[in-house]
Amino acid sequence: MDLRYLNAFVKVCDAKSFTVAALSLGLTQPAVSKQIRRLEQDLGVPLFNRDDNGISLTDAGREAYHTATQILAEWTKLTLACKPYFESLQGTLSIGSSTTPARHLLLSHLQQFHAVHPHVTLRVQVEDSQRTLDALLQSEIDIAFVGIEPHSADLVRTPLASDRLVVVASASYNLHDDWRLSPFLLREDGSGTGAAAKQALADLGVDTERLNVVARLNSSTLVLDFVAAGLGLAVISSWEAAQAVRQGRIQVVADLNYRREFHVVTRRVPKQTELTDAFLHAIAPHSSGPEEQDEE
């Protein structure tokens, strides 16, 4: 059971609305809906009646609301009681991240950590996944957010989130064309997205060496700009695609049905054990990614 699920549940109960609760939590409505579904799965019972008139609590939901408010109150008391023991934590924590988690995962985790340890200075650098892991191995950073699995025995990974890969094209692209024969934009060597895209395409029998590659780019932002301008298709994270699709800049032409995993990685013997452990502890209950699927 995850405290986030209880918190989201209480917020929905108080607001009597998934949408209003999502706004108060700083999340999307689909993300809150998913948390409620997971709480219902954990408890084994439906908590809400859903109909044309909105939502209402089931009998189990009313019992869950009463208990959840008590649990959250006790958790708040515990965090306040522990706060004095952490307030003195100081120093500089160096964090490296590849581009996709930097844009979609990192900020919320840094906010969570800073709220608990406001006297720790955060230093952040963004590179591709391989360079980020290299920097971690060379003790240039303390923690890495990456989209590839590290293979060094000196590194320890913690699952963070997962996303799916999609093929995107400009908004004017002709959907009747065979996207496999179209010009392609690829990420540079060392990119986690690039490595995952190569594997996802290979799983479909598409050899990236035979693609009509018009450019290799070292930025997901550049990839989106080039795709929107009609210079080629690309395989990107659905998180990266979502906003550009809503803006009408690009369209998704294929879902590769391939899940890409993101990880938080540390050295097996961290240089700054206290700060690193504090960071991992602070973000542990909050490791999740953006949600795309909606629920009415």
pLDDT digits (tens, 9 = 90+) for 42-95: 999 999 998 877 889 999 999 999 999 999 999 888 877 776 665 567 889 999
pLDDT digits (tens, 9 = 90+) for 188-215: 888 888 889 999 999 999 888 888 999 9
The per-residue pLDDT for 85 is 62
Q: CA-to-CA distance for 227 and 200, rounded, in angstroms?
A: 19
Q: Please report, for the chain, the start and end positions of each structural domain, with discontinuous segments joined by +.
A: 3-86, 91-161+261-286, 164-259
pLDDT band at 269 (very low <50, low <70, confident <90, very high): confident
pLDDT digits (tens, 9 = 90+) for 253-268: 999 989 888 999 999 8
Query: Whole-number mean pLDDT of the chain?
Result: 87
Q: Which of 2-16, 128-142, 253-267, 270-284 comes out lowest in average pLDDT?
A: 270-284
pLDDT band at 37 (very low <50, low <70, confident <90, very high): very high
Q: Count of alpha carbons within 13 Å of 149, Cβ hemisphere only?
A: 6
CATH 2.40.30.160 applies to domain 164-259: no
Q: Is the pLDDT of residue 280 over 80?
A: yes
> Looking at the domain that runs over 91-161+261-286, which CATH code has it been given?
3.40.190.10
Between residues 287 and 182, the one the model is more confident about: 182
Do the Cβ atoms of 255 and 127 come closer than 8 Å?
A: no
The CA-based angle 246-163-258, given to 5 degrees, is 105
The per-residue pLDDT for 246 is 92
Question: Angle formed by the axes of helices 29-43 and 3-15, to 10°?
Answer: 110
The per-residue pLDDT for 209 is 85
Q: Which of 175-179, 281-285, 290-294 comes out lowest in average pLDDT?
A: 290-294
Average pLDDT for residues 124-152, to the nearest whole number? 92
Q: CA-to-CA distance for 70 and 131, rounded, in angstroms?
A: 46
> Looking at the domain that runs over 3-86, which CATH code has it been given?
1.10.10.10
Q: Which residue's entry shows tokens 């060496």?
A: 209
User: Do the domains spanning 3-86 and 91-161+261-286 agree at the CATH topology level?
Assistant: no
Tokens standing for 14? 């108080």
Q: Count of alpha carbons within 13 Å of 267, Cβ hemisphere only?
A: 20
Which strand ranges, in their side-by-side order, compose the sheet holding 143-146?
Answer: 120-126, 91-97, 143-146, 250-267, 155-170, 233-237, 183-187, 212-217
The CA-based angle 254-149-151, given to 5 degrees, is 145
Q: CA-to-CA distance for 170 and 224, rounded, in angstroms?
A: 9
